[in-house]
């Protein structure tokens, strides 16, 4: 019983901070077996402390999970803590201390090609600014603090550095240092905050539990400096950037996917004889060149494509039908249409729950709620709008949607009751002790386009040519 | 039971609404007599309407409820109205700009993202805007109108505090800061952080003395003129704003309107350029406003003077003591002695005749409290009526419907 009272749950990061966090935990004798970059498990037990357990999350999920009180302690970058606190200042999360790793900053950066060399020059260009970022709240705080007169924020799943200058005037993004940005062709105008790793605690747990046995382990690894949001302007002499000749935007702009969909897309392009330099998993250029002089190609996340086609940044894109559907549910008047089913990358979007949950249909889930055996249904999903529509259509009430950024299956059963996710074979689901109770749709890769731009006289011919070319390569 | 109401939102119950309507009606009557006309703007506006002018501080804009509309793929955000004046200025530019000036008033709610969820996030206000109204006449008109309204509402111990945004801005400008620091300092001052003034220092002793004398002053015009001495190298902007301010206050003195000068206590919007009156009652702020001569040109219209104020409904509601509910004065409860079709039919007919005579009439369905009504009329089985006048305590029995109506009389 005593153990139960003091049971402590820790949320640990994947990705950028994982190696250093794993080293730190090993150093302080809080080692967790299997906390490695290649792990396929999400739940970890401490090798030393029987009452300590951990779960692995994407960094951006950690402050939310700790604030809700699902986890007592968490380790993540200051950037994601501030991203939460900027919008929800009263979140019940407490910054305990910075750790001595995770160096880097969130920068506001423009492309070298824009010819802008400092913030004043940036502000002097009167226009409707497009801001691209994985941190929409930080992006808004930046826009308001420098008083942009009119701006639009495009939240993205990743690859923010690829967007400027053609598809955004400025990106708000994380980088180790200036040099790393420069390698991407970006010039930082402002440092918004350091991305230091931090230990955070749930306010509720601090009040009700004794966390000292765990927190004391870290005392020799703390960085006692204060780290906070700073909005520090990075100076540079006026006109110190030689403005390169403004590259004309090419006639037709195509977005290609990274990640899982990259290899089959590359194969398709090869079959139809479209030669791209460096579009492969081994050697990926996010702006690959192509032997058609009117075609410009960028590599971005499939999740971000529908919006980028809708807003006219791209004429065409190769993405999944699932992401198109999620977009259309949110924005019914969107000008994005499916032009071609490419057939590959087949997945099913399914509803799943743990084997232990005594239900086999969504109707039975609804009954659990009606009988009061479940007070609120917590649903984890990457597909916010598909999920919202599905739950409303089935009159599920009340429910809470937990947006995730991949690895949604890790949320069950502790942090969610239901999962709406894609699966190829159902094997990963079975491995995680999940059962499928409904199938929403099948999804394959498809070519999408902006219905206004595909009929525009100045590029209709080229777009038709591309569509025919891709059609010729279908198996 | 756990509340299902959204955090920071509030229900207005019948007693609240009675007070609310009383404020609205009093406000409307007042404004109409001064020649103002009522307008209403939508709850949703584009975010860029508020960012484009650069006239709301980042901290105010950070509290706006903004979100993507159904066509939000363009990235354009909409907001729940975070401010009353800017939408009115937009309404004027879009619909009424052929008029040289417009005296407009509105009753509206303002939404602010409030952190704790404990405070109210939807705030009602009764606002007045005089577009085209130049200083000092229009400023004084609005101050007198606001005082009349508060008087008619029966709010006691009203205190008028006067500040001047143009003067405050000119003072900050004298400090010679770089543009971004200057904007930041002004932002803090306008957000109500009066401590900011204390830290303000220039390299010029005479100026610092002037600054201290202005921001520390609290009192009447005669003392203000004695204590505040304009520095020899004062800018033209400082001089003209000071003279604008003293001009308005002098007029208020002539009109025997009581006030209190307190330049440092400014709390308002960045678009304010002139005098800023604030109204308090028993220490609580119940209204405020200011002159905003540059707002319309910043929004793309021709340049024109303008000023406005708003009375905050939420604190005023709490201060109102209303007389008895009209129902207790002349309300009627009609009771059926038995629920037979014949008796019920008579009940409905009687109720209708009494309503036609101007009474508030309720049929007794589920044990209405008789103390809530002036009259209680029971319809008896044999077709006669028993009447109780709760005011006099008299009881009577009559035999026809016409007699009942005659006995209760008409209500105006």
Q: What is the mean pLDDT of each run of 10 residues along chain A (475 residues)?
A: 65 93 88 82 83 91 92 96 90 92 95 89 86 96 91 93 94 95 94 95 92 86 80 70 66 93 94 90 90 93 95 95 96 94 95 94 94 92 95 93 84 91 89 93 96 92 94 88
Measured between beta carbons, which residues in chain A are less than 8 angstroms from residue B51? 143-144, 147-151
Q: How far does B278 lie from chain A, in Å, by closest CA? A: 27
The two beta strands, A170-175 and B122-131, are: unpaired
* Interface probe, candidates B7, B51, B75, B271, chain A, greatest A C-beta count within 10 A: B75
Name which of B66, B75, B77 is nearest A130 (Cβ-Cβ). B75
Name which of A147, A152, A153 is nearest B54 (Cβ-Cβ). A147
Query: Hey, how many other C-beta atoms are within 10 angstroms of the C-beta on B222?
Result: 11
Q: Is B21 part of the contact surface with chain A (CB cutoff 8 Å)? A: no
* Interface probe, candidates A151, A234, A329, A372, chain B, greatest B C-beta count within 10 A: A151
For residue B124, give Cα distances in angstroms to A52, A456, B112, B155. Answer: 50, 48, 11, 17
Question: Is 60 exceeded by the pLDDT of residue B146?
Answer: yes
A252: β partners:
A295
Dmax over CA atoms of chain A, in Å, equals 74
Q: What is the mean pLDDT of residues B321-344?
A: 81
B375: β partners:
B332, B389
Q: Is B299 part of the contact surface with chain A (CB cutoff 8 Å)? A: no
pLDDT of residue A3: 41
Closest by CA to B388, choosing from B410, B401, B370, is: B370
- What distance in Å separates the CA atoms of residue B128 and residue B311, rounded to the nearest whole number? 9
Q: What is the average pLDDT value for chain B, to the nearest integer?
A: 90
> Of 3.30.413.10, 3.40.190.10, 3.20.20.70, 3.40.50.12780, which CATH number belongs to A2-101+195-221?
3.40.190.10
For residue B399, give Cα distances in angstroms to B324, B338, B349, B361. Answer: 32, 17, 15, 20
> A340 with A349: CB under 8 angstroms?
no
- What distance in Å separates the CA atoms of residue A152 and residue A130, rounded to the nearest whole number? 5
In a 13 Å sphere around the CA of B16, the CA atoms on its Cβ side amount to 8
Query: What pLDDT band is residue B371 in, cutting at 50, 70 and 90?
Result: confident
Inter-chain residue contact B58 with A151, CB threshold 8 Å: no
Cβ contacts from A onto B, under 8 A: 59
Name which of A151, A154, A333 is nearest B70 (Cβ-Cβ). A333
pLDDT of residue B149: 97
Q: How far does B234 lie from chain A, in Å, by closest CA? A: 30
Q: How far does B52 lie from chain A, in Å, by closest CA? A: 4
What's the CATH class of domain A105-193? alpha beta
Q: Is A329 part of the contact surface with chain B (CB cutoff 8 Å)? A: no
Q: Which of residues 67-96 of B touch A (CB under 8 A)?
A: 68, 70-77
- What distance in Å separates the CA atoms of residue B334 and residue B341, rounded to the nearest whole number? 15
A45: β partners:
A53
Local structure of B135: helix, strand or coil: coil
Phi, psi of A196, rounded to the nearest 5 degrees: -45, 140
> A218 with A107: CB under 8 angstroms?
no
- What distance in Å separates the CA atoms of residue B21 and residue B86, rounded to the nearest whole number? 25
Q: pLDDT tens, B202-222?
A: 778 888 888 888 888 999 999
C-alpha Rg value of chain A to the nearest Å: 24
Name which of B73, B75, B117 is nearest A90 (Cβ-Cβ). B117
């919202």: which residue's tokens? A388
Inter-chain residue contact A150 with B183, CB threshold 8 Å: no
> A9 with A70: CB under 8 angstroms?
yes
Query: What pLDDT band is residue B412 in, cutting at 50, 70 and 90?
Result: low
A436: β partners:
A352
> A149 with B51: CB under 8 angstroms?
yes
Local structure of A40: helix, strand or coil: coil
Q: How far does A2 lie from chain B, in Å, by closest CA? A: 31
Measured between beta carbons, which residues in chain A are less than 8 angstroms from residue B61? 144
Q: What is the CATH number of domain A347-443?
A: 3.40.190.10
Inter-chain residue contact A332 with B73, CB threshold 8 Å: no
Inter-chain residue contact B51 with A149, CB threshold 8 Å: yes
The alpha carbon of B401 is separated from its chain's Cα centroid by a whole number of angstroms, namely 47
Q: Is B183 part of the contact surface with chain A (CB cutoff 8 Å)? A: yes
For residue A243, cis peptide bond before it (omega within 30 degrees of 0): no
Question: Is 80 exceeded by the pLDDT of residue B368?
Answer: no
Annotated domain spans of chain A: 2-101+195-221, 105-193, 252-346+445-472, 347-443
Number of residues that make up chain A = 475
Its sign, for the CA torsion B179, B181, B184, B188, is: negative
Name which of A311, A332, A336 is nearest B70 (Cβ-Cβ). A332
All residues at 6 or more sequence positions from A163 whose CB lies less than 8 Å from its CB, including other chains: A132, A154, A156, A171, A300, A313
> Of 3.40.190.10, 1.10.287.950, 3.40.50.1980, 3.40.140.10, which CATH number belongs to A252-346+445-472?
3.40.190.10
pLDDT of residue A238: 60
pLDDT of residue A426: 85
Local structure of A331: helix, strand or coil: coil
Measured between beta carbons, which residues in chain B are less than 8 angstroms from residue A327? 73
Q: How far does B113 lie from chain A, in Å, by closest CA? A: 9
Q: What is the mean pLDDT of residues B313-336?
A: 83
Q: What is the mean pLDDT of residues B366-394?
A: 86
Measured between beta carbons, which residues in chain A are less than 8 angstroms from residue B74? 152, 310-311
Q: Is B173 part of the contact surface with chain A (CB cutoff 8 Å)? A: no
Inter-chain residue contact B116 with A90, CB threshold 8 Å: yes
Burial of A233 (0-12, 13-18, 19+ CB in 10 A): middle
Which pair of structure tokens corresponds to residue A252?
A: 């037709």
Which pair of structure tokens corresponds to residue A248?
A: 């004309």
- What distance in Å separates the CA atoms of residue B147 and residue A386, rounded to the nearest whole number? 55
All residues at 6 or more sequence positions from A471 whose CB lies less than 8 Å from its CB, including other chains: A340
pLDDT of residue A137: 94
Query: What pLDDT band is residue B411 in, cutting at 50, 70 and 90?
Result: low
- B74 → chain A, closest CA residue: A311
Q: Do domains A2-101+195-221 and A252-346+445-472 have the same CATH topology?
A: yes
Going through A61-158 in order, the beta strands assigned E by DSSP cover 73-77, 93-99, 105-111, 129-133, 151-155
* Torsion region of A143: left, alpha or beta (phi above 0 gives left; psi -120 to 50 gives alpha): alpha
Q: Is B232 part of the contact surface with chain A (CB cutoff 8 Å)? A: no
Sketch out chain B's domains with CATH numbers: 14-319 (3.30.930.10), 326-408 (3.40.50.800)
Q: How far does A90 lie from chain B, in Å, by closest CA? A: 6
Q: How far does B401 lie from chain A, in Å, by closest CA? A: 52
pLDDT of residue B367: 66
> A157 with A257: CB under 8 angstroms?
no
Q: How far does B72 lie from chain A, in Å, by closest CA? A: 7
Burial of A387 (0-12, 13-18, 19+ CB in 10 A): buried
> B377 with B361: CB under 8 angstroms?
no
């Amino acid at each position: 019983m005593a153990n139960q009272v003091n049971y402590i749950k820790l949320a640990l990061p994947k990705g950028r901070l994982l190696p250093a966090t794993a080293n730190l935990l090993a150093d302080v004798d809080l080692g967790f077996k299997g906390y490695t970059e290649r792990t396929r498990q999400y739940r970890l037990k401490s090798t030393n402390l029987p009452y300590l357990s951990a779960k692995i999350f994407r960094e951006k999920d950690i402050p939310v999970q700790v604030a809700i009180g699902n986890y007592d302690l968490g380790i993540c970058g200051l950037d994601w803590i501030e991203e939460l606190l900027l919008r929800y200042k009263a979140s019940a999360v407490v910054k305990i201390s910075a750790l001595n790793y995770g160096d880097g900053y969130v920068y506001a950066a423009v492309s070298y090609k824009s010819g802008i060399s400092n913030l004043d020059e940036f502000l002097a260009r009167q226009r409707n600014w497009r801001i691209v970022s994985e941190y929409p709240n930080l992006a808004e705080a930046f826009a308001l603090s420098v008083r942009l007169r009119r701006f639009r924020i495009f939240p993205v799943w990743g690859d923010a550095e690829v967007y400027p200058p053609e598809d955004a005037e400025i990106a708000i993004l994380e980088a180790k240092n200036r040099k790393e940005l420069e390698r991407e062709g970006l010039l930082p105008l402002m440092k918004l905050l350091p991305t230091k790793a931090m230990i955070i605690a749930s306010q509720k747990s601090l009040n009700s539990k004794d966390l000292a046995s765990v927190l004391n382990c870290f005392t020799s690894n703390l960085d006692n400096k204060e780290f906070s949001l700073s909005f520090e302007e990075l100076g540079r002499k006026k006109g110190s950037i030689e403005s390169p000749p403004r590259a004309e935007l090419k006639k037709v702009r195509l977005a290609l996917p990274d990640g899982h969909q990259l290899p089959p897309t590359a194969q398709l392009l090869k079959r139809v004889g479209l030669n791209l330099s460096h579009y492969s998993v081994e050697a990926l250029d996010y702006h690959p060149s192509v032997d058609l002089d009117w075609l410009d190609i960028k590599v971005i996340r499939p999740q971000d494509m529908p919006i980028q086609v809708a807003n006219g940044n791209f004429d065409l894109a190769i993405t999944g039908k699932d992401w198109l559907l999620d977009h259309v549910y949110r924005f019914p008047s969107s000008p994005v249409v499916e032009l071609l089913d490419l057939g590959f990358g087949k997945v099913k979007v399914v509803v799943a729950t743990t084997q232990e949950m005594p239900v086999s249909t969504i109707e039975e889930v609804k009954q659990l709620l009606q009988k009061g055996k479940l007070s609120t249904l917590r649903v984890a999903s990457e597909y916010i709008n598909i999920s919202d529509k599905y739950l409303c259509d089935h009159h599920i009430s009340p429910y809470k949607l937990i947006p995730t950024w991949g690895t949604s299956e890790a949320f069950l059963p502790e942090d969610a009751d239901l999962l709406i996710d894609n699966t190829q074979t159902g094997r990963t689901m079975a491995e995680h002790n999940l059962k499928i109770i409904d199938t929403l749709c099948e999804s394959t890769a498809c070519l999408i386009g902006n219905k206004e731009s595909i009929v525009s006289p100045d590029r209709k011919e080229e777009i038709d040519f591309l569509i025919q070319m891709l059609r010729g390569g279908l198996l | 039971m756990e509340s299902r109401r959204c955090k920071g939102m509030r229900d207005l119950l019948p007693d609240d609404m009675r007070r609310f309507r009383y404020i609205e009606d009093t406000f409307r009557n007042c404004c109409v007599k001064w020649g103002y006309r009522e307008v209403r703007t939508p709850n949703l506006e584009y975010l860029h309407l508020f960012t484009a002018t650069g006239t709301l501080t980042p901290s105010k804009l950070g509290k706006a409820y903004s979100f993507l509309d159904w066509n939000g793929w363009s990235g354009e955000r909409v907001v729940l109205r975070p401010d009353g004046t800017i939408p009115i200025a937009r309404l004027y530019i879009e619909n009424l700009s052929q008029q040289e000036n417009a005296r407009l008033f509105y009753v509206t709610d303002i939404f602010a993202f409030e952190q704790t969820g404990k405070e109210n996030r939807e705030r009602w206000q009764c606002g007045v805007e005089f577009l085209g109204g130049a200083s000092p006449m229009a400023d004084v008109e609005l101050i007198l109108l606001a005082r009349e309204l508060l008087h008619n509402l029966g709010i006691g111990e009203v205190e008028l505090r006067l500040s001047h945004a143009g003067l405050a801005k000119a003072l900050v400008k004298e400090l010679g800061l770089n543009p971004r620091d200057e904007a930041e300092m002004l932002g803090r001052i306008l957000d109500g952080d009066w401590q900011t003034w204390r830290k303000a220092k220039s390299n010029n002793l005479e100026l610092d003395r002037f600054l201290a004398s202005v921001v520390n002053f609290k009192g009447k015009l005669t003392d203000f003129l004695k204590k505040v001495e304009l520095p020899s190298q004062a800018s033209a902007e400082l001089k003209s704003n000071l003279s604008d301010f003293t001009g308005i206050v002098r007029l208020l003195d002539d009109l025997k309107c009581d006030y209190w000068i307190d330049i440092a206590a400014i709390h308002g919007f960045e678009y304010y350029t002139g005098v800023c009156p604030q109204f308090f009652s028993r220490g609580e702020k119940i209204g405020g406003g200011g002159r905003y001569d540059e707002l319309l040109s910043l929004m793309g219209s021709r340049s024109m003077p303008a000023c406005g104020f708003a009375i905050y409904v939420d604190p005023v509601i709490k201060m109102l003591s209303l007389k008895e509910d009209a129902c207790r004065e002349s309300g009627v409860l009609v009771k059926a002695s038995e629920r037979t079709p014949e008796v019920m039919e008579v009940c409905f007919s009687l109720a209708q005749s009494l309503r036609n005579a101007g009474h508030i009439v309720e049929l007794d369905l589920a044990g209405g409290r008789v103390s809530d009504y002036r009259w209680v009329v029971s319809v008896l089985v044999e077709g006669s009526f028993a009447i109780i006048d709760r005011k006099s305590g008299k009881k009577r029995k009559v035999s026809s419907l016409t007699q009942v109506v005659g006995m209760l009389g008409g209500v105006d």
